[in-house]
A and B are shown apart, each in its own frame.
Chain A
Amino acid sequence: MNQPVRVKTLKIDDRDVSGREDETILEIARQNGIFIPTLCNLQGLTPIGACRLCLVEIKGVSRLLPACVTRVEEGMEVYTQSERLQKYRRMVLELLFSERNHICSVCVVNGHCELQSMAQVLGMTHVSVPYRFPRLPVDASHERFVVDHNRCILCTRCVRVCDEIEGAHTWDVMGRGIDSRVITDLNQAWGESETCTSCGKCVNVCPTGALFEKGKPVSERLKKRQFLPYLTMMREERR
């Protein structure tokens, strides 16, 4: 028997809104046309609150909370656009840009990149911390795809889509902190992976040019994401 749906009422940016108790602040904000920036989040995949771009202020809570994993509560007063948040979001982006080698001009997704467009939307004009310029490898051993760790922001969308949607769990993360890296199987070359089905879902959900398909020139790589809502919807219907 279905549980009765409980509805919570709250305020986001002084607007009265409501949502189901199992929904997040981000979902309710989107339903009401309120923009909260995200990078690691992708509808259809489990939210993990990794990128910290969706941090919001909640009245009476001293910490900032990520909107993608914070459930709505009765009487909440949420603020999404304060000076402080905008500053922190730009800082998050600056750190992402400085951490690896994001050279937009020669990137395969130049013009179609979520990191790039987010920097534009949030008005990030400079990187105020020193670039790290790490030496990171490019793995082009797969027949169709390439992973360029220089452009990876560790959003783990690839890990989640491979595990939750494709069910292969080829991708995972190794290492800690700044040394973390996405890997295929047990850190083997992608082309030698025994679990990879070559479905390409990881490539299509990747927000940057870290994962891309061989054969198209720079700035010509469009990500095809339509599959994700369809697959999710069909699976939910079947359940």
Chain B
Amino acid sequence: MAHTVTIDPVTRIEGHAKITIQLDDQGIVRDARIHITQFRGFEKLCEGRRFSEMPALTARICGICPVSHLIASGKACDALLAVRIPETAEKLRRIFNLAQLVQSHALSFFHLSSPDFLLGMDADPAVRNIVGVIQANPQMARDGIRLRQIGQQMIEWLAGKRIHPSWIVPGGVAQPLSAEKREQMLASIPEGIDIAERAIEWFKTTLRQFSEEIQTFANFPSLFMGLVTETGALEHYDGVLRVVDSAGNVIADKLDPNDYQDYIGEAVEPWTYLKFPYYKPIGYPEGVYRVGPLARLNLVDRCGTPRADEAWSEFRTLERGAVLSSFHYHYARLVEILYGLERIQQLLNEPDILDTRVQAVAGPNRSEGIGVAEAPRGTLIHHYRIDKDGLITWANLIIATGHNNLAMNRGILQAAKHFVKGEQIQEGMLNRVEAVIRCFDPCLSCSTHAVGQMPLHIQLLSPTGEVLDEVRR
């Protein structure tokens, strides 16, 4: 008899989603999908607002990564002003974006995913959370919390507050950096680098235990896309787009982010509120590509900072060609944390970082503006059109998680086929299906729910809708 298994909601992710797994008559997985069950409508509600409000408005999309939206929106607004922002403002924005990367990656790795690594995929869900991590390995829990604090603290020192600051403005930033804050930031970096290196060492030793997961967690050939510098190093703020294939060959390079519509299409499916971007030259749905930390490390020729370059070289030896297993998103996140901290240190030591000229002042000069940046989860695109008074007439936002939508769906199908068998629901097997989603660290809304407290509801349904088996936690 054919069944559907529903995991609703998916836990330890940011936002609300459910997973359905379709079983055929033999209890073999036929299909699996992730449904994004929330609808936000930001693109619509921004219409009629003044463009200068867009950074603050769109930052409200997310409480974890408001900074990413501030950056992409700020850049789109710069394009509307038709200005090049002061050098110092650009550097400060870069630090801001990297501090966000550090704190968000720390949250994903330590708070949300480390319970699976430390306690095992089959551990009791009652302890398989950050509290369980605190009991099992207090040092690791402390490291994770401290690392996130370092990132968040930098955001606060720069922008005045940690969540939804209003420091990014069209044309630059609102306030310059003070010498005192600069010293404080520099002082916190060595500890962060130690933590990141410790975490990388530890994670490498645990990889052996997860060979089955590495094999099956969204491990398939796909394209990878993201920003790189003109010379092919890691880039999160500006630069050009590059696409590589599963063998690691560059198939498109130096694409102008402003032309994203030429190579990214968006498909809509009736069963989810999240659209499906795809790589246009290949088409839908074959043009599946991945973005985010794994993609970025697959794209670049080097990171651009000494310690991160070493870690990156080792990372790239995991597989020949591009690293294809999405399980390695976690590893990539740690390498990026290391890079982020090193790069912040470099930027803070730039001679003009305390310059007080940080905002280019202009009115709306162009009718259309596009801002592209790398958010922790991948390439983020803000695209606005305005009328002659600067009021938004149209907005399009492509969120990093969206790019990964096709890959996530393919990934849970792969994992479900491997781990879900028969009609009896086992907790561990469903946790693995969820864990595939966690690899991508999807950010589905403006807020995260409390770790480990959201009830997981799984139903095994007969074709007539009859509940055959049910698990709640």
Contact = CB atoms under 8 A, between A and B. Distances in A.
Interface of A: 105-106, 108, 137-141, 146, 191, 214-220
A77 B389 CA distance: 54
Given A105-B164, A214-B363, A220-B166, A138 B48 contact: yes
B56 A217 contact: yes
Given A214-B363, A220-B166, A106 B389 contact: no
Given A138-B50, A214-B50, A218-B56, 16 more contacts: A105-B60, A106-B53, A106-B57, A106-B60, A108-B53, A138-B48, A140-B50, A214-B363, A216-B169, A217-B166, A217-B168, A217-B169, A217-B174, A218-B55, A219-B166, A220-B166
B312 interface: no
B interface majority secondary structure: loop
6 contacts: A105-B60, A105-B164, A140-B389, A215-B361, A217-B167, A220-B166
Interface of B: 48-50, 52-53, 55-57, 60, 164, 166-169, 174, 361, 363, 389-391
Contacts, number: 44
A106 B164 CA distance: 9
Contacts of B174: 216-217, 220
A232 to B, nearest CB: 33
B166 A140 contact: no
Closest 4 CB pairs of A and B: A218-B56, A140-B389, A218-B166, A217-B169
Given A215-B361, A217-B174, A218-B166, A140 B390 contact: yes
Given A105-B164, A146-B50, A217-B169, A140 B60 contact: no
B361 A106 contact: no
Given A217-B174, A220-B166, A141 B389 contact: yes
Nearest to A139: B389
Contacts of A138: 48-50, 391
A191 B363 CA distance: 14
A35 to B, nearest CB: 30
Given A106-B60, A138-B391, A140-B391, A217 B48 contact: no
B345 to A, nearest CB: 28
A140 B391 CA distance: 7
Most buried by A among B53, B164, B169, B174: B53
A108 B55 CA distance: 12
Contact of B56 (A106, A137, A191, A214): A106
Given A105-B164, A140-B390, A140-B391, A217 B60 contact: no
Contacts of A214: 50, 52, 363, 390
A137 B50 CA distance: 11
B53 A218 contact: yes
Contacts of A105: 60, 164
Contacts of B390: 140, 214
A122 B174 CA distance: 32
Nearest to B167: A217
A149 to B, nearest CB: 11
B392 to A, nearest CB: 10
Contacts of B389: 139-141, 191
A217 B55 contact: yes
A191 B57 CA distance: 25
A198 B468 CA distance: 72
A220 B49 CA distance: 17
Contacts of B52: 214-215, 217
A184 to B, nearest CB: 14
A137 B166 contact: no
Most buried by B among A138, A140, A141, A219: A140
A137 B48 contact: yes
Nearest to B51: A140
A19 to B, nearest CB: 44
A217 to B, nearest CB: 4
B169 to A, nearest CB: 4
A190 to B, nearest CB: 10
A215 B174 CA distance: 10
Most buried by B among A108, A191, A217, A218: A217
